[in-house]
Amino acid sequence: MTFAYIRSSVEENPNFNLGLSSACIALGALGIGSSVLLIIVNTIVGERHADLVFISMLSYSNLLSSMANIMYNSKQISLLQSGEVEAVTVSKCLTTTPHISFFLFTQDMSLYSTIAMGVERVITFRWPKHHHKIFSHGSPSIIVRILFLACLFKVIVYWNGALKQYDKFVSPFCSFRECFPENYYFILAVTQFSLQILATCIFCTIPVLLCFQRSGTIYVFTQNVTRMVISVPFRNQHPVERRERAITYSILVVVALNTVTHFIPWCFELFYMQAYSAPLRAMIRILQSTYPTLAAVIYLSIHPVLKQHTIILFPFMKHFLLLTKRITVHPQ
């Protein structure tokens, strides 16, 4: 949702903006509900496997992003209905519109968690012995804390840059490009584009590993959360191997969705700085507003561990989730 927020403008027909903002608020509410559901299921599962820890990080990021989406579009509706056009200072924007910080924080948090999941999946299939060393015990939680601090540090740096022009007057919509210096905006576009490229490259290697891998060793969690080593005959589709592949497929689908809703818009943003047509902006806002909901649904319906516990906790979702093939890990 950050891209659409950065690019927002007020030259469209007010009725068009009102309808679009109302739709984004509804999608934001769905995003909050689905993200909370994913967080609850992930918490009840209790396993501290690396992929679940990073999915939890992504869930919180999507939750904050959906909240920011609702805040921003609610502000748009309020301003459009009141007809208020009086300029405000940058300092007032920063202190009265928290969605600015939320957008800045969640875009990095989402990307970092995606990259972390990609690295974890590559190590799982390419260097399984190193997976146990890198992601054992509480190391995934430590990685998440480090990434959280990195996101927080970036927000502080950007706030510092914005406060240097605290008395600058901007539109009451408080767009990102107005509140922060132009060079900060360019750095943001470059870093987002570069991180998206990195994430895409990492995940492009995973299908290759899945296609050419024939046998190997996978480190998994047993039901009592104890590490064990299993020699997996991949040609025979061992249950553990099917589980790891299902986890990987769920992540790949979310990354593909992220590419459509975030990477492609940032390509436009970096290489085409002109104003966008209203239909294109509307399409991007709708796509990015649906991302948190779709990401949660994909994980709950494809990820084998999350899917199994979702059916147990919410029986009414059983028929929907069983539309995809159920994959379980049989005891060894």
Instruction: Check residues 212 and 181 and name the one with the higher pLDDT.
Output: 181
Instruction: Check residues 207 and 143 and name the one with the higher pLDDT.
Output: 143
Q: What is the pLDDT of residue 240?
A: 62
pTM over 0.85, yes/no: no
Q: What is the pLDDT of residue 197?
A: 83
**pLDDT at 321 exceeding the cut of 80:** no
Q: How confident is the model at residue 245 (pLDDT cuts 50, 70, 90)?
A: confident
Q: What is the pLDDT of residue 106?
A: 87
| Start-end of H helices in the chain | 2-6, 14-45, 50-82, 90-96, 99-126, 128-134, 139-163, 176-179, 182-212, 239-258, 264-271, 278-302, 304-313, 318-321
Q: What is the pLDDT of residue 218?
A: 46
Q: Which pLDDT tens digit goes with each residue over 94-110?
A: 888 888 888 888 888 88
Q: Which domains does the chain have, with CATH numbers?
A: 2-321 (1.20.1070.10)
Pick from 174-183, 302-311, 322-331: least confident: 322-331
**pLDDT at 55 exceeding the cut of 50:** yes
Q: What is the pLDDT of residue 217?
A: 46
Instruction: Check residues 153 and 2 and name the one with the higher pLDDT.
Output: 153
Instruction: For residues 225-240, give the mean pLDDT.
Output: 47
Instruction: For residue 135, count CB atoms less than 10 angstroms from its CB and return exposed for 0-12, middle for 13-18, buried for 19 or more.
Output: buried
Residue 154 neighbours by CB under 8 Å, 6+ apart: 104, 105, 108
Instruction: For residues 193-216, give the mean pLDDT.
Output: 73
**For the chain, percent of residues with pLDDT exceeding 90:** 11
Give backbone dihedrals phi and psi of 188, rounded to 5 degrees, phi first.
-60, -45
Q: Which pLDDT tens digit goes with each residue over 149-192?
A: 999 998 899 888 888 887 888 888 787 777 888 788 788 878 88
Cα–Cα dist 246/156, whole Å: 38
Angle among Cα 254, 72, 282 to the nearest 5 degrees reads 60
Instruction: For residues 204-229, give the mean pLDDT.
Output: 54
DSSP string for 195-238? HHHHHHHHHHHHHHHHHH--EEEEEEE-TTS-EEEEEEEGGGT-
Pick from 25-34, 53-62, 227-236, 302-311: least confident: 227-236
Pick from 58-67, 291-300, 301-310: least confident: 301-310
Q: How confident is the model at residue 230 (pLDDT cuts 50, 70, 90)?
A: very low
Instruction: For residue 99, count CB atoms less than 10 angstroms from its CB and return exposed for 0-12, middle for 13-18, buried for 19 or more.
Output: buried
